[in-house]
Structures are given as structure tokens and as C-alpha cells.
Amino acid sequence: MPELRKDPIVGRWVIIAHERARRPHDFKAEPTSHAQSKVCPFCEGNEDMTPPEILAYRDSGSRPNGPGWRVRVVPNRFPALKIEGELDKRGDGIYDRMAGVGAHEVIIESPRHHVTMATLPEENIRDVLWVYRDRLVDLKRDRRLVHGMLFKNVGEGGGASLEHTHSQLIVTPIVPISVWEEMTGSLEFFNYRGRCIYCDMVQQEAAVEKRVVLDTPHFTAFCPYASRFPFETWIVPKAHESHFENIPKPAVDDLAHVMHQVLNKLELALDAPSYNYIVHTAPFDHSGLPHYHWHVEVIPRLTKVAGFEWGSGFYINPVPPEHAAAFLREVEIATSHPGVAARERTSGGRPQPLASKVP
Amino acid sequence: MPELRKDPIVGRWVIIAHERARRPHDFKAEPTSHAQSKVCPFCEGNEDMTPPEILAYRDSGSRPNGPGWRVRVVPNRFPALKIEGELDKRGDGIYDRMAGVGAHEVIIESPRHHVTMATLPEENIRDVLWVYRDRLVDLKRDRRLVHGMLFKNVGEGGGASLEHTHSQLIVTPIVPISVWEEMTGSLEFFNYRGRCIYCDMVQQEAAVEKRVVLDTPHFTAFCPYASRFPFETWIVPKAHESHFENIPKPAVDDLAHVMHQVLNKLELALDAPSYNYIVHTAPFDHSGLPHYHWHVEVIPRLTKVAGFEWGSGFYINPVPPEHAAAFLREVEIATSHPGVAARERTSGGRPQPLASKVP
């Protein structure tokens, strides 16, 4: 059973994975880049290579754990947390620990191997978003669990271990420290001004325009004022709502469009970079918070994080968000229409380098 | 001039480097691994390739910016922050910013190219530690600056851009968020229990022993209970003291020994891994804090950080600190005596893999 342990100084929890513990000599070779096995366990037809599915959106008539699905959710074969067991909260001298209870699921976003989230048609992205929502709604019924984090790792620099397009959901029995910091920071602002800070950000970004990447009926996508990373892009809903799982259907349709646009802009501008995206949403045990506002953060992995960043929490960003947004705005992406197959990847339409556009 | 910008939600500052701003096409090639130039600017004899030195420990009779030094401090040629100018604190709508004023210095730890901090004799490490202390004492006189972070990046995974052994000092006009979190977390503990949490940790680690790597008259080196990373090792002074720059001379001698031992143990156990170490010390404008306790955190870079860690602040560590410490304890390193040249690197004396030692 994995174990959750708390740093007694800053309150950060870590997952100590006893069972899949690695030995020193495991690290001596080049950090394992999980050699791609020849057969992909996420491809249609290989459903028996994964644990049994938790959920799938399927063609009518198709059978669980067989072909005929569009999006498929399975337990992670090497879970960071395990769904069985009690929390078993205990002290250990001055320290605190509990059992590593939680859920760790993989959302396979397409039955086909040679697509990416950016090349998926918008209707498929909508399916993925509905699956995100369905899994959160299901897992929040478990009274041991308090927060669900949806995220996607793409490419070597993004920490992906399998190429086939997928995202992950980790549901934890405590609120992760970064979520806690967002909750308390936004509450402080709310207590002081009586407004949601994310709503204020959306308003100011729309007014000054220079950091906006894309503006749609339900969302503003922008490079945040204090971007940690080059081309960091946040997708924030215009309507105030603390919980992703409460997203209305028209907003799902629009979000699929925005994600398609933003991910394609990043792919074209940066030549298919490694990236992560993370759905930031409020913990389960609250609802309708006036101070918190769910959103998606997309982070291309272009720069290295080293000792200064690790020690200080300060980040050095060599691309001002105003430059990044100006460049991304210029990248034109065709809207994908339902039923249209993944577009061919070409370099046509690639904009000029930033140097010639931004003074 | 670089700019400091504050994230309005969590209060994290970032450095936006306007001047060395990179263009999107700079990121398209493989992330720049700063091609090693053939001539190393940090080697003895190439002193004119760096900006003029700020400090050097030199043989008597040698001249500034010429050969004859043991440790040499120069301004970073591409500084994240600049020492000239006013802070110019201003609002920008709902956001906060100030000018990127600060110091960014490089401590060149040896005139010779083919040594590492681990292979340096202890007397050289003592010099490096005294330089750390001298630079902090000098820079804290600048009333615009509030915190100094000393850190070292080693290897590709550690984010090093030059091979020649060196560390860096970044002094900032605001307290970095991670330091702030340690300060407030330890203050909370102190207010509740009336004791320093780090002193408590040292006591408990000494009592239970299983996470201790090395115990000396002035320091306990241990793998912390909630280690974020495999083989993470903290070096904590036994005597309570909030500020590194107040370190007594006998403790400097002992710390040089402990660092020599710990870095060599990691080198041998993990085959010269990439790593970072960071000196955690209190901000300048306090002194003699009863709740904070300076220390050094050494972090081998063996695992990747991906979307979950970025989003949650949770870390998944596949090596329990008890296993890591047991393994590192077994690695025997000869004590380096003053005047002894860097030892030959051999794999002799390497301990058995952990699997055979720990059940």
C-alpha cells in the first residue's frame, strides 16, 4: 500500500510508493524513458492489455473491454494511490501519515494511435470533457476522497510514459497543497474586495487585450500576467463557477473548440512541444464557492527548472506573456467541424517569427 | 531591465526577462543545451572571459582577474536580476510589479575544470562555504534586498549550463514564496509548541536512526520523512540558528566534511547523478529567529516532474527515505585530508544494490 506523508514545515504531502519502490541501480542507467513496447495497450483491439474499463463511450452494440469505443477509462496499471482500504490516519512522532487511498485512472482519448489531442476533431474533445465530468461526479460520492485532479502529460519533457493520447485523473484523500494555496489566496482576495479574483482577471485581460490568445462566448484564453513559463496559457470560463463538474453543455461545446484552437496554436507555433495541461477545480466537499473559479492551465515544457526555482518558488520566464499572446493570436487554425477527420499536419500557414511582429 | 511580477492568487513572484527574451523559433530546436564552447570561461587563465571578479580567495601576490585563485565570484553574464536601479513598485490594474533589481553571482569553486564538488578536497569546500558567507554578509547591507539564495545545479537534469564546478547566488528584493512558506509554517509550529520544528526533526531522526545518513558533531544528514524525491538528503545543523551567515568556524569545517561525504555517497550510489543543492536560510531583515533553522537540501534529479506534481504540489516518490538512507549509510567514503589531491574515480568499494541489503 502506498503511504501519504506530510512535510511538517510547509504542510506538503508526498506519496511514498513502497510497492513499486525502485532500487538505486534502477536509476544508474539513463532515467528510464519507458521503452515503448511494440504493442500499444491503449489501441483499439488491445483492450485486454489494460485493467477492465471503468467507463467507456461506445457504439451501441459494442461490448465492454472490446472494440467500438470513442473514449475509454481504465485504472492506472501502476497506480500512485489505491482505491481499497481505510485512511488509517496516524502520527509517527512529530510526523503525520495516512494510507495511500485514492483513485488513479487513465482516460484514453481516442482508439487510434496516431492522433494527438490537437488533431482530434472537436466532437471527440467534447467526449473527453464529458468523461472528465462523469468521473468526477462518480468519484466525489466516495466520502474518503476530497479532490480530483485531471491532467495530461505530453511528450518527453511533459513526463509522458506512453505515446498514445491520454490524460489522467488522480483523486486524493487530502486537498493538494497547490490547490489549498489557490483556495486560500482567492478567499483572501474575496474577503478583502468581495469579488472573485479570477472574474477580475478575465475582466482586466479582456479590457487590455494584449495577453488574450482567444476570446469566445464562454471562455477567455490568455497568457497570465505572471506567467511562470514561456507560452503558459490559461483557459478561464467567463461565468463564475468553482467546480468543473458543474459545467453547462454549451460551455462544454465551446471549451472543446477553445482547447482545439489553443493546443493547435501551441503545436504550430512551437513545433509540437512537450506540454502539460491541468484542470484546476475546487475540492469536493464544498459547493458553489464565491471566491474560487475553475480553469485549465496549459504549460508548454520549453525551459528547465533548476535549483533556484526548486528552492525559491520563483520562476524565470524569458518570454513576456504579452509577446507570447501576440504570437499565438496570429497563428490561424481552421475550426474543426464535427465528423471531419484529423487534419493533415503541414507547416503551411505558419506565421512569421515573433521578431518581425512584435517590436 | 527584467521585471518582477506577482501572481495575484497565490502570491508567487516571477521574473520576466524582457531583455534576453527568446523568440518562439528559439524553442523549436531541441531545448538549448547551451553548447559547451571549447574554451571554458571558468578555468584558470581565462579570467578575462568573465565580468570582473567581485571576490576571490587568492594566493598572496596574485592579481585580481588573473590566475592564482582558489575560489572566485563573478557577476552572472546573463543575470536574472540587475543590481542597478530603484525598485519602482507599481500596480498594473489588479496586478503588482516591480523592477527586477537584485544580484546574480556565480561562485567558481575551483580553478580546475575536471573536478566536481564531490572530488574537491574538504579544505577547498571550506573555502567555498566561507565565500557563501562573505557574499551574504556583503549583500545584506543593500537595503533594497531581502533574501539570498545559494544553490548549485549539476548535470543536465539539474539544469546546469556549464560543466565547470560552480554554484550561484540570487539575491531578491522580495522574499521568495517557498522561503515564505517555510517561515510561516515553522512559525506556526513555534507558536503552538514553543519549539523549533527543525530542532524537533533533528532530535527525532537521531532517536529513530533509520533515516540518518551521517551524524557528526555539528550536523545530522538525513533523508526527510516526507522526501519529495528519491535520495533527497537534508543537512541540518544541531545547534539552532536561523541564518547561515552566522555559522561558527568549527561548524564550517564540519559542514565541509559532511558535504564531501554526502555528495560522494550520492555520486557512488547513483553513478554521478544530476543534482541540485540549495542553502535554505532566513531573510535578511530578521535576525536570531527562534522558529527558523537554516539547512542544506540536496536533491538528486532522478525522476521526472509531470502534470500531477505541477498541478497539485504533491510528489510521488518511488524510494522510501528509510531505504535511501540505509543504502547511503553503507557507502563508505574516505575522509579527505587537507592537501590531498582529488581522489581517483573508481567503482571500487561500491556497495551491493539495495535489494540485497534491505528486506
Query: What pLDDT score was predicted for residue A347?
Result: 38
Q: Which residues contact B30 (CB under 8 A, 6 or more apart)?
A: none
Measure B86 CA to nearest chain A CA, in Å: 20
Query: What pLDDT score was predicted for residue A34?
Result: 46
Query: What pLDDT score was predicted for residue A37?
Result: 59
Measure A303 CA to nearest chain B CA, in Å: 7
State how far the Cα of A104 lies from the Cα of A139, in Å rounded to an integer. 11
Among A10-19, A22-31, A55-64, A211-220, the least confident range: A22-31
Q: What is the mean pLDDT of residues A296-305?
A: 93
Query: What pLDDT score was predicted for residue B64?
Result: 96
Query: What pLDDT score was predicted for residue B234?
Result: 98
Give tens-digit pLDDT for A74-94.
999 989 999 999 999 999 999
Q: Do the domain assignments include residue B66?
A: yes
Q: Do the domain assignments include residue A96?
A: no
SS3 B345: coil
Q: Do the domain assignments include residue B6?
A: no
| Phi, psi values for residue B45, rounded to 5° | 100, -20
Q: Do the domain assignments include residue A345?
A: no
Contacts of A271 in chain B (CB under 8 A): 27-28
State how far the Cα of A67 lies from the Cα of A61, in Å rounded to an integer. 10
| Phi, psi values for residue B315, rounded to 5° | -125, 145
Q: Do the domain assignments include residue A318?
A: yes
Give tens-digit pLDDT for B233-258.
999 999 999 999 999 999 999 999 99
Q: Which residues contact B298 (CB under 8 A, 6 or more apart)?
A: B232, B233, B234, B235, B262, B263, B266, B275, B276, B277
Contacts of A282 in chain B (CB under 8 A): none
SS3 B55: strand
Tell me which residue in B16, B307, B354 faces A276 most closely, judged by beta carbons.
Answer: B307
Measure B80 CA to nearest chain A CA, in Å: 7
Q: How many CB pairs under 8 A join A and B?
A: 290
- Quote the ipTM score: 0.88
State how far the Cα of A121 lies from the Cα of A109, in Å rounded to an integer. 11
Task: Give residue B197's pLDDT band: very low, low, confident or very high (50, 70, 90).
Answer: very high
Cell numbers given for B179: 522561503
Tell me which residue in B17, B182, B277 faces A317 most closely, judged by beta carbons.
Answer: B17
Query: What pLDDT score was predicted for residue B333?
Result: 87
Degrees, nearest 5: CA angle A135-A139-A145: 140
pLDDT at A341 over 70: no
Query: What pLDDT score was predicted for residue A24?
Result: 66
Query: What pLDDT score was predicted for residue A249?
Result: 97
Task: Give residue B19's pLDDT band: very low, low, confident or very high (50, 70, 90).
Answer: low
CA atoms within 13 A on the CB side of A114: 5
Query: What pLDDT score was predicted for residue B170?
Result: 97
Q: What is the mean pLDDT of residues A52-58?
A: 97
Query: What pLDDT score was predicted for residue A305?
Result: 87
SS3 B131: helix
What is the rounded average pLDDT for all residues in chain B? 89
Structural domain that includes position A165: 37-79+102-337
pLDDT at B211 over 80: yes
Q: What is the mean pLDDT of residues B123-150?
A: 97
Q: Do the domain assignments include residue B357?
A: no
Question: Which residue, among A152, A148, A157, has the nearest Cα to A167 in the 3D structure?
Answer: A152
> Helices B122-139 and B249-270 meet at what angle, rounded to 10?
120
Give the count of domains, chain A.
1
Cell numbers given for B210: 533509520
Q: Do the domain assignments include residue A87?
A: no
Q: Do the domain assignments include residue B344?
A: no
Domain containing residue A47: CATH number: 3.30.428.10
Q: Please check whether residue A322 is in contact with residue A211, taking contact to mean a CB–CB distance below 8 angstroms.
A: yes
pLDDT at B38 over 90: no
Contacts of B3 in chain A (CB under 8 A): 320
pLDDT at B103 over 80: yes
Contact B355 A23 (CB under 8 A): yes
Task: Give residue A124's pLDDT band: very low, low, confident or very high (50, 70, 90).
Answer: very high
Alpha-carbon radius of gyration of chain A: 21
Q: Which residues contact B310 (CB under 8 A, 6 or more apart)?
A: A151, A276, A278, A299
| Phi, psi values for residue A114, rounded to 5° | -95, 45
Query: What pLDDT score was predicted for residue A334?
Result: 80
State how far the Cα of B112 lies from the Cα of B315, in Å rounded to an integer. 37
